[in-house]
Amino acid sequence: MTWHINILTLFPEMFPGSLGQSLSGRALEKDLWSYSAVNIRDFTADKHKTVDDTPCGGGAGMVMRADIIEKSLLSVKTPGRKIYLSPRGKPLTQSLVKELAATPALTLLCGRYEGVDQRVLDAHEFEEISIGDYVLSGGEPAALILMDACIRLLPGVMGNEDTPLEESFSSGLLEYPHYTRPVSWTAANGQTYDVPAILTSGDHAKVAKWRQEQSESLTRKRRPELLKSK
C-alpha cells in the first residue's frame, strides 16, 4: 500500500519541494509514497479568497478561519491521522516518526499568520506536533521535514535496510562518528587527521564496542537528557 499524505496549505506549489529529489524523489516516482496538496483558498466564497480574520479578544496578526479550513478538510476522501504543525505541539521524535510512517494516510494542516481557529482543531481532533522550539513563517517547512523523516523509513526507499537502525535516536543515543578514505588526511590548516586505528583493525567486535562507547559519550556531552529517559 502506498503511504499517502494530504497537505492543507495556502501554498500548494511548495510541494513536493526538496522531496521531489534524491531518495524521496525516486520513491515518489516508484509510487512508494504519494501526496495531495489542497489549496485552502479554493474553499473561500469571496472574490478576494479571504482565509483569515482578526483574533477575537484583540491582538496582533490574523487567524485562519475554522469554516474555511473545515471545507478543505472535508474535500479529502481519506484524511487518516490528522496533524496540525504547531510550535506548541508534542515534539517530533524518531519513535513518533516510525509510528507515522506506519500509518497509511496522514493529513497535515499548515498554518499561517498567528495560527488557526482552535475550534477546527477541536472539532476534527487534530493532534499538534512540533519540529522544534522555534517559530516558522508557516507550517509548510515543518510538513516537509515531517514527511522527509517518514519517507526514508518506508520499505524500499533506502538501499541498506540496516541504515535506519544505526542512526541517531534509533537506539535512544546520538550516532557515532563516521570516517572514510583516505586513512590519513591533511587539512587546509596543515594539521593531519587519522582515522581511529580500531576502525581499520578488521575486528568487528571491537569496532561495535567502540561505536557504542562513542555514541554514549557524545550523548552524555550533547544531549544528557536522552540518557536520563532511558
- How much is the pLDDT for 122? 98
- How much is the pLDDT for 81? 98
- How much is the pLDDT for 15? 98
The C-alpha cell that represents 153 in the structure block: 523509513
- How much is the pLDDT for 1? 79
Cα separation, 89 vs 82, whole angstroms: 13
The C-alpha cell that represents 55 in the structure block: 483574533
Which residue stretches of the chain have pLDDT < 70?
160-170, 230
Q: What is the pTM of this model?
A: 0.88
The C-alpha cell that represents 58 in the structure block: 484583540
- How much is the pLDDT for 79? 98
* Residue 38 backbone dihedrals phi, psi, to 5 degrees: -100, 120
Question: 3-151, what's its fold?
Answer: Alpha/beta knot (3.40.1280)
First to last CA, the chain: 34
Question: Do the Cβ atoms of 72 and 10 come closer than 8 Å?
Answer: no
Domain residue ranges of the chain, discontinuous segments joined by +: 3-151, 167-228
- How much is the pLDDT for 129? 98
- How much is the pLDDT for 167? 56
Q: What is the DSSP letter of 116?
A: B
How many residues comprise the chain?
230
- How much is the pLDDT for 228? 81
CATH of domain 167-228: 1.10.1270.20
- How much is the pLDDT for 50? 97
Q: What is the pLDDT of residues 3-20, one digit of tens each?
A: 999 999 999 999 999 999
Cα separation, 50 vs 47, whole angstroms: 8
